A = this chain, B = another copy of it.
Amino acid sequence: MSRLTHFDKKGAAHMVDVGDKDVTERQATAAATVRMAPETLKLIQQGDAKKGDVPGVARIAGIMAAKKTADLIPLCHPLALSNVTVDFLIHEADNAIEVRASCKLKGRTGVEMEALTAASIAALTIYDMCKAVDRSMVIADTRLLEKSGGKSGTYKA
């Protein structure tokens, strides 16, 4: 008794039919947290547009990745996102940077995967730019913070 909607009765994966869903305003916010050595965080914090802006590059990577979600996640629908933002919270006590990505759409299906993809790729970009000094960084807790719109309503983590 499968309840996984991405498979039909015979177990075949498919892109779920959303043609009959209502066009509503849908939004989602996801987070991913990059934990690192204290000196790595300091290097990032010292940077700016003049000395190397790690979050600036990671933000662009995250925004562009949101637009590629349907190209990456096999059963996602192509979506005409109306808004994408990617922000960063520094958690100094934890030597961590939290990526927060939000997406919006007026459409027939939710944008959770777009927000999660943006947060994941922004976090991986931070890893890429700092890996020469710190290979042991960990991306912890990639997850959905909240979503709203659509038949399943509002979710908050």
Contact code string A141-157 (vs B, CB < 8 Å = 1, else 0): 11110010000100101
Assembled-state Cα–Cα distance A88/B155 (Å): 28
A29 contacts partner chain B, Cβ-Cβ < 8 Å = no
From 74 to 107 in chain A, residues with beta carbon under 8 angstroms from any chain B beta carbon are 74-87, 104-107
Residue from the list B8, B52, B74 in contact with A60, Cβ < 8 A: B74
Known: A19-B106, A71-B68. A6 touches B48 (CB 8 A): no
Q: Are A76 and B6 in contact (CB under 8 A)?
A: no
Q: Are B124 and A3 in contact (CB under 8 A)?
A: no
Interface size class on chain A is 35 or more
Q: Are B144 and A142 in contact (CB under 8 A)?
A: no
Q: Are A82 and B128 in contact (CB under 8 A)?
A: no
Cβ–Cβ < 8 Å partners of A107 in chain B: 80
Q: Are B72 and A68 in contact (CB under 8 A)?
A: yes
Q: How far is the CB of A1 from chain B (nearest CB, A)?
A: 9
Cβ–Cβ < 8 Å partners of A84 in chain B: 14-15
Q: Are B65 and A72 in contact (CB under 8 A)?
A: yes
Known: A71-B67, A120-B124. A12 touches B59 (CB 8 A): yes
Contact code string A51-79 (vs B, CB < 8 Å = 1, else 0): 11111110111011111101111111111
Residue pairs across A and B with Cβ atoms less than 8 A apart, 19 shown, are A5-B132, A6-B52, A14-B84, A14-B85, A14-B86, A15-B81, A17-B104, A19-B105, A61-B72, A64-B74, A72-B121, A73-B125, A75-B129, A77-B80, A80-B80, A82-B108, A112-B131, A117-B124, A139-B141
